[in-house]
A and B are shown apart, each in its own frame.
Chain A
Amino acid sequence: MKLLAILFGALLAQTNTSGPDLSGFWELRFDSKNIPQASLAPKVTPKDIEAHREKDRMAIRWCNFLGVPRVMEESPLDIRQGRIETVIVAQAVSTARHIYTDGRGHVNPDIFDPTTNGNSIGRWEGDTFVVDTIGIAPDRGITSIPGGGYRTGDSHLTERYRLLNSGKQLSVTFTWEDPNVFAKPHTYEFRYYRAPKDTNARNWSCDPFDESRAKFLTESPAK
């Protein structure tokens, strides 16, 4: 029996069954988002909010990497659970999200160069995949957060992924904590729908030097 246990253990290690398998393509639909209004810290002013909106407009106009949380609004997302990390890949202009599941901690902030997706580590709590992210670049990509507010270099994002409806849906709750921005943790939920198994990823191109696109995005509509 001991030998069988060892063999089973080796097999499980190969197939990474430390939790439910979230692998697949996941889509957002019209009813996917449940986003309450964020409770912002008193020091956040309308001018701050508008400055981030304007920066986001320019990020889109110049095809900047999206980063979190905006990348999670792309559809479909390709999620794959590998042996040492789970990755989330969007089709838009964005780098992949790397969520390390091999037990490592966050990279020392003293040496980590912040990125648009930050530094993420994940663990399983029962059937829920909990992802902890810090180290998000405050000045790159789209910084606005659904429900209000924006991310800064001090933002801390906790996500909880859980399969629903026999694996046909994926619930992800996002909780943002940042005393610079939020009066209390800001939580919202997206529910993704599993896409067909034969879904092919598309790689959307974005041309920042497409003049007609730039004009469309930056000029006010004629009155």
Chain B
Amino acid sequence: MRRATLAIVAFIVSSGLACAQSRPDLTGFWERRDVSGSGSFGGIDARIPKAVLVPAVQAAPAEPPPNAAPAGEAPHKAGEPYVVTTGRCGGGMPFMMGHSAAIDIVQTTEEILIIPEMPGTRHVYMDGRSHPPLNALEPSNVGHSTGRWEGDTLVVDTVGLVAGAGIPGGGRRSPETHLIERFRLVDGGKRMSVTFTWQDPKIYVKPHTYEYIYYKDPADTYALEEWCDSSDPLQRQSIVPPEQRR
């Protein structure tokens, strides 16, 4: 009897451990590093393939870059500070995943949180729920995300993003667009590969995919806060000279 009880307990424990151990632990602070440039990720981002857009989208104007001169204003002189048209704070998707600031991943059974240093935490539901119907989902800058494990890879599906651009490689997004991310630890957990695939037949001729590599920060890393105040005149100025405008 005692032997049978021990066998049952051992089975339960080993099953639990196998279940827990089969899911890599992404917990911690992760940051991109510019390993081939001056710190602005320009060298890395230049290698991202160009998105192949459907003709109608290709012809439509994208959002102006944040440092563009307002319509009707004369070009600014090099180095001249000027008020930009958007002084809004906050990043959201996909900006926060490409930012130089660390992202903090908190992993639990039911939900995984991806936390930037600014507002706009991503909630990735792991409890098997589906996305709400799009007509019941108010678009937001982080959308609605569900996740599942495929072996050692966390697969996250996101919809409900606010329409716009800002996707590396020149992509666009709408609330209907699906972003599929695949998170995978590499190099013994010191690095994390995330591939981003944007899918939307109304926007892309074929899915647009690129990869970022994140580096694990030390265990005692703590969160910083990227303060931003739209009332601060400095927040609405740029000293980017015109010739650097994209």
A205 touches B121 (CB 8 A): no
Docked Cα-Cα span, A185 to B119, in Å, equals 30
**A83 contacts which of B25, B127, B228 (Cβ < 8 Å)?**
B25
Contact B20 A7, beta carbon cutoff 8 Å: no
Number of interface residues of B (CB under 8 A): 52
Taken together as a complex, chains A and B put the C-alpha atoms of A43 and B229 apart, in Å, by: 30
Binds A, one of B36-44, B107-115, B172-180, B202-210: B107-115
| Cβ–Cβ contact A96 & B27, under 8 A | no
Tell me, yes or no, whether A143 is within 8 Å of chain B by CB. Answer: no
Known: A80-B111, A200-B132. A63 touches B230 (CB 8 A): yes
User: CB distance A208 to B107 under 8 Å?
Assistant: no
Task: Compute how far the CA of A202 lies from the CA of B89 in the bound complex, rounded to whole angstroms.
Answer: 18
Answer yes or no: B9 CB below 8 A from chain A CBs.
yes
List of B residues within 8 angstroms of A174 by Cβ: none
Contact of A95 among B6, B10, B118, B231 (CB under 8 A): B118
Interface stretch, picked from A10-18, A33-41, A154-162, is A10-18
Per a CB cutoff under 8 Å, which of A11, A64, A96, A202 touches B223? A96
| Chain A interfacial residues counted at CB < 8 A | 50
Residues of B within 8 A of A123 (CB): none
Given contacts A23-B108, A87-B113, contact A98 B13 (CB under 8 A): no
26 A-B interface contacts by CB (under 8 A): A4-B10, A4-B13, A10-B17, A15-B109, A23-B108, A58-B231, A63-B89, A65-B119, A65-B228, A80-B111, A84-B28, A87-B106, A87-B115, A87-B121, A93-B90, A94-B119, A95-B117, A113-B225, A115-B225, A117-B225, A197-B127, A201-B121, A203-B120, A203-B140, A209-B87, A209-B88
Q: Which residues of B contact A (CB under 8 A)?
A: 6, 9-10, 13-14, 16-17, 20-21, 25, 27-28, 87-90, 92, 104, 106-111, 113, 115, 117-121, 123, 125, 127, 129, 132, 138, 140-142, 144, 219-220, 222-225, 227-231
